[in-house]
Structure formats: structure tokens, C-alpha cells
A and B are shown apart, each in its own frame.
Chain A
């Protein structure tokens, strides 16, 4: 598939002033879900306008950036958004895309279908009968075909992942290959900073070109402030045209729409609903039930040259510890980020950093309970997160399991995700009291905020109905990670896109209001 440039994006930062217009469907957000909605509805003949808060950075440009430049231009808050830890929970660095293409540009491209056990839970315990495996199958297949989901071949694995696989196999937990939305990947290990070779088929090079070819209009640098509402029905949205990354306002815009689809993600979608006056005196669920898949990386030092950045960024995983709420997923991070976690100042730091080519990395994430909330504080979002007791108990288990795998592979020492803790050898691991490490010393990150406008069968305990329509407002639909009713335990990109496909197909059949 050729790398497509979105030649007709309207750059808000280049507009002289604000604008007003009307359309059939306004899509707020151009990420994994918004792009699917836009393409499906535009191809069905509906007049679609997409507004995106972030900038449009063509693939040819983000492919030339250094990792920190990608963070500046593609990620929200330059990658420094945090969820405040409540109680015995660590602060969690939550990374989200803020650009045309959203987080699909800034992920490793890992594609999992919604696990069978999760769908079974949704369709039985939660009563979401249409969300069973058979009903979702066409949605999964459609997205997988559109973004070319393929298995990462074993030979594409980095040496870091190969070594982890050796250790896992030695302990009888063989790794499984991951699937990703790639084509002709050459394994340069930086997918999450924007693919430099156009091999990752994120929505900016797949769905959005389709949407625009079918007549949709896409505005970048346009932040929606409020939904406009007429009695019990949404009628559009208003917002600001931003002047580049410093977010100064160039002017205001207003879009009148017969239908609005909110696809701003689990962080921004609930905030917009709250700012628009929803959620007061109703279920109180908007912004709640945030799940993050809190992630921890465990590094290991080997007596060989590893150069873990050579190979596919993410190529293998293990669900052997799912009963303990843990999924292990391969990854690598830029040397500068690795250096940041190494102990030492001056010479001791330089010595640690010089050993980076011998370092391996693997990640583990928790299949967490809904412990977080997105609050609106003076109109600005604030995330808080409390690990449940079971999730908190799983953290030391995760560290121990991963360290044991590294040692089984022959690691000299491991670096646990504990701030200030130096290298740990096999003997020290046995004596470490991991259960009592204070939360503020845990180094934790997430790329998977979900669940803050969850889907359900009753307005009393959910925000949207099984078709994605908000209980509180007619013709307002939510389609993004925020509607997932529970945590998945796996990377959510394909799940979000498939759920969006399902909603889009329903909207195609649903008559637009006058």
C-alpha cells in the first residue's frame, strides 16, 4: 500500500480566522476510532467534517524526527501527561497521541482482537448481547484487512526479544508472536515515534485518505470547547482554531451537524461531555471507570552485544500469567529513555549508559480493574488512578516473574522498575521485599486509557447505550476507547477500531435527523 499524504487537510494554524459550516456528521477526533467513522460514513455518502485538536504532520515529516521531536509534535503534553496515584498507587505516565491520526501514529501497532473471555463477560454479565464473538467477527475482519494486520515473523525479533523468549521457553512459558498493522517493516524499532518508512499502517495513511477521497473535510489544529445542544439533542460543536503547538487561539469555529460522533479518546471525550453540561444529576459515570493497563518494564544486562533497538519494536508476547492479571509484551525504548532510568550521576551514570548496547527490555502490563477517573478542574482534565488491591498485589509478582525469565535466559543482572534501585542479581532478587516498595518509587507507564464513557444497557451505570449513543443526548454518539466497558488486558487499537466499525455500520443504516 503506498504511503498516502492527506493533501487536502485544512490546517487550522494557516487559517486567517475562524470558520462556520454545517454538515451531516461532525466527527470530533481523527484517531483510530474517528478515522474509521469518517471513512465509513463518507463512503456511505454522508457529508462528514472531522475536527482534530492536534496538528497534521505528514508521515514523511514525522519519519525524520528524533524520538523527543515526535513527542513534542505528535503526543499530548509532549508525552508527559500523568495520572496522579491515589493511595498506594504510583503516578502513571499516560502517553496519548495528539495529532491527525491520533494514537495510531504513536503506538507500536500491536493488534489484538478483544479476548474471548472479555467478550463473553460483556455479552453475558453486562448484558451487551450484540458484543459476542460471532457478531464482532465481521468488524474485526474488516479492520484487519484495511490496515493489513500480519504476524510479526520470528526473524524480525530483536536480540532483546530473542533472549526473553529463550528465558520464557526455559521456564515453560513460550512466547507467542504478536500481530501488527505493518507492511514491509524493516524492524528499525521506533514505531511508537511515527514509522520512518511508511510501513506501519496507522489511520493517517489508511482510513483518513479514504475518508477524504470520499469527500470528508478534515480540519487540524481545531479544539472543540463545547457541544451545542437544543433541548435533548446535540446540534454541533464550537471551539477554537489553534495557532500551533502553543495553542494560542487564531479564531473560533462553529460546526452545525445533524449528528455528532465524539472520538476524542478516554481522556478528552469525558472532559468535553462535562464541559458541555452533561453528567450532572444523572448516572455520574462520565469520566469514571478509567482503566489504564498499568505497564512496567524490566530491563536486563547480558554479557553480549544486544543492541535491542535493532528489530521489530514489538514482536512477541506471553499470556501465560493472565490468571495473575499480567500480560507480557515485547518492546524497546530509545537509548535516551533507557539512560534516564539508569542510576548514577556523572561518571557512574556515564558507565551505566555506556552499557546500554548490552541491555534488554521487556514490558508487562496489568489487566486492571477500573480504578481511575478523569476529572474536569476549571475546564482542564485531571486524571487520578487508584490500583485495586488485587492489581497492587500483582505488581511485585510481575517484577519477579519477569526477572526470573531474564535470569533463566542468562542475564547478569536486572533493572526493576523501581526508582533508585540499582542492578539486581539473582541472590538479591530473592531477598528483595518487593511487596513493600512504596508506590512513589514505582516507575509506571500506560498507553491504553479506556472506559471513561462506558457502554452499558442502563443509563444508571453507563454513559452510552449498546449502539454508542449517549443516554443523555440524542444524536450524540461516542466511538473511541472510552466506551469499552471493562479493561481488555491486551493492546486496544484493533478493539477500538472494530468497535468504531460496528458503530459506523449502524449509523450508516440509521436515518439522519432533519
Chain B
């Protein structure tokens, strides 16, 4: 039997560059940056933003996940991210992109957006971020999930 397709290992080892045929990244760097900005606020605690290493891991996972999700899904998600980045600051009367806001202001802006009638894009983004973020072993432990029997032993 041939070896397991190498892309299966990508999420763990990142051996494969996620680039399309003409060498460009499949997932736009600006989308990943914007998702990280939202994640910093979404997963912040009283101690501050989530650990940078965990956000680095999340960013890699996001790139791999979205590369598999197909062009249409990436396009729709890109629109949702753009909407969040534009609407959230407007909701707190700040006329700058979300990334320019300090963490506390960003959290405030996202809270306001979540309780508004324009919250749908935020829910989509939050769903994707949460799905991946809580798979990090440390994040999973923080919410009491051991998941021991859920994975086949290597």
C-alpha cells in the first residue's frame, strides 16, 4: 500500500507549502492576519490575549483547513472576515480597521457586534476559530476535554 498521502501530515508537520499551481498562497495572507486579530480578542482572558505560540498554531491550522475548504468557501469566509473587520469598529464609533484597535477596544467592538443585528458574519468566523482553537491540547484541557479515547493510538 502506498504511504499515506503526504498532505494528511500537513496539519501536524507543515511539510507542504500550501500554494497553488502558479506559486501563490492558496489562502490570502491578509485573511489569515485578520483572523488572528479576531482570535486574539475572542480567546483573550483576564491575563491578556491567548499565548502567541497558540495563535501561531491556530494560524497554521487555519491555512491548512481553508486550503482544503474550496475556493467558494474561502471567498465567503473572506467576505465574513471583511465584514467583521469593518462593522465591529463602526459599532463603537471608531473609524479605523479592527487591527488598529487596542485589545480591550477590540473586545468591546466584537461584543457590540455580537449583540447587534449584523452579527451573522461574526458567528461564522467565531465558529471556524473555535473549532480549531479548542483542538489545541492546552485549550482542550482548559475546557475540561480529555479526548483520550477519541484518537487512535499511533
- Provide the residues of chain A in CB contact with B26, threshold 8 Å: 246
Check B143 against A354 for contact (C-beta < 8 Å).
Answer: yes
Q: Knowing A337-B130, A346-B43, say if A354 contacts B142 (CB, 8 Å).
A: yes
The main secondary structure of chain B at its interface with chain A is helix
Q: Knowing A246-B20, A356-B143, A440-B120, say if A335 contacts B134 (CB, 8 Å).
A: yes
Within 102-122 of B, Cβ neighbours of A (below 8 Å) are at 107, 110-111, 114-115, 119-120
Check A196 against B150 for contact (C-beta < 8 Å).
Answer: yes
Contact bitstring A292-331, B, C-beta under 8 A = 1, else 0: 0000000000000001011000000000000000000000
**Residue A233 at the chain B interface, CB threshold 8 Å:** no
- Provide the residues of chain A in CB contact with B55, threshold 8 Å: none
Within 76-104 of B, Cβ neighbours of A (below 8 Å) are at 76-77
Check B130 against A339 for contact (C-beta < 8 Å).
Answer: yes
With A and B bound together, what is the CA distance between A186 and B151 in angstroms? 12
Contact bitstring B132-145, A, C-beta under 8 A = 1, else 0: 11110000101111
What are 23 residue pairs bridging A and B, where the CB atoms are less than 8 Å apart in the complex?
A57-B4, A65-B8, A68-B65, A71-B65, A72-B68, A77-B69, A78-B65, A80-B70, A80-B73, A81-B73, A82-B76, A188-B149, A246-B26, A307-B144, A309-B145, A336-B132, A336-B135, A341-B127, A343-B114, A345-B107, A349-B43, A350-B43, A420-B123
Check A336 against B123 for contact (C-beta < 8 Å).
Answer: no
- Provide the residues of chain B in CB contact with A80, threshold 8 Å: 69-70, 73, 77
Check A64 against B42 for contact (C-beta < 8 Å).
Answer: no
Within 326-380 of A, Cβ neighbours of B (below 8 Å) are at 334-337, 339-341, 343-350, 353-354, 356-357, 380
Check A77 against B70 for contact (C-beta < 8 Å).
Answer: yes
With A and B bound together, what is the CA distance between A343 and B144 in angstroms? 18
**Residue A190 at the chain B interface, CB threshold 8 Å:** yes
- Provide the residues of chain A in CB contact with B151, threshold 8 Å: 63-66, 196
**Residue B7 at the chain A interface, CB threshold 8 Å:** yes
With A and B bound together, what is the CA distance between A126 and B116 in angstroms? 48
Binding site for A on B (CB under 8 A): 1-2, 4-5, 7-8, 11, 20-21, 26, 41-46, 61, 64-70, 72-73, 76-77, 107, 110-111, 114-115, 119-120, 123, 126-135, 140, 142-145, 147, 149-152, 154
Chain A's nearest CB lies how many Å from the CB of B47? 10
One of B21, B110, B152 near A60 (C-beta < 8 A): B152
Check A63 against B119 for contact (C-beta < 8 Å).
Answer: no
- Provide the residues of chain A in CB contact with B73, threshold 8 Å: 77-78, 80-81
- Provide the residues of chain A in CB contact with B61, threshold 8 Å: 68
**Residue A485 at the chain B interface, CB threshold 8 Å:** no
**Residue A248 at the chain B interface, CB threshold 8 Å:** yes
With A and B bound together, what is the CA distance between A71 and B131 in angstroms? 11
**Residue A7 at the chain B interface, CB threshold 8 Å:** yes
One of A247, A310, A335 near B140 (C-beta < 8 A): A335
One of B4, B144, B150 near A188 (C-beta < 8 A): B150
Binding site for B on A (CB under 8 A): 5, 7, 11, 13-14, 55, 57-58, 60-61, 63-69, 71-73, 77-78, 80-82, 186, 188-190, 196-197, 244-248, 307, 309-310, 334-337, 339-341, 343-350, 353-354, 356-357, 380, 419-420, 440-441
Check A55 against B143 for contact (C-beta < 8 Å).
Answer: no
Complex A-B, nearest 10 residue pairs according to Cβ-Cβ distance, in ascending order: A63-B152, A336-B134, A340-B130, A340-B127, A78-B69, A188-B149, A196-B152, A357-B144, A72-B68, A346-B44
- Provide the residues of chain A in CB contact with B5, threshold 8 Å: 11, 13, 55, 57, 244
Check A244 against B7 for contact (C-beta < 8 Å).
Answer: yes
- Provide the residues of chain B in CB contact with A13, threshold 8 Å: 5
Q: Knowing A77-B69, A336-B135, A420-B115, say if A356 contacts B20 (CB, 8 Å).
A: no
Most buried by A among B1, B144, B150: B150
- Provide the residues of chain A in CB contact with B70, threshold 8 Å: 77-78, 80, 247
With A and B bound together, what is the CA distance between A78 and B132 in angstroms? 12
One of B111, B131, B134, B143 near A345 (C-beta < 8 A): B111
Known A-B contacts: A11-B2, A80-B70, A420-B119. Give 9 more (CB < 8 A): A68-B135, A72-B68, A244-B7, A246-B67, A336-B133, A340-B126, A343-B114, A345-B111, A419-B119
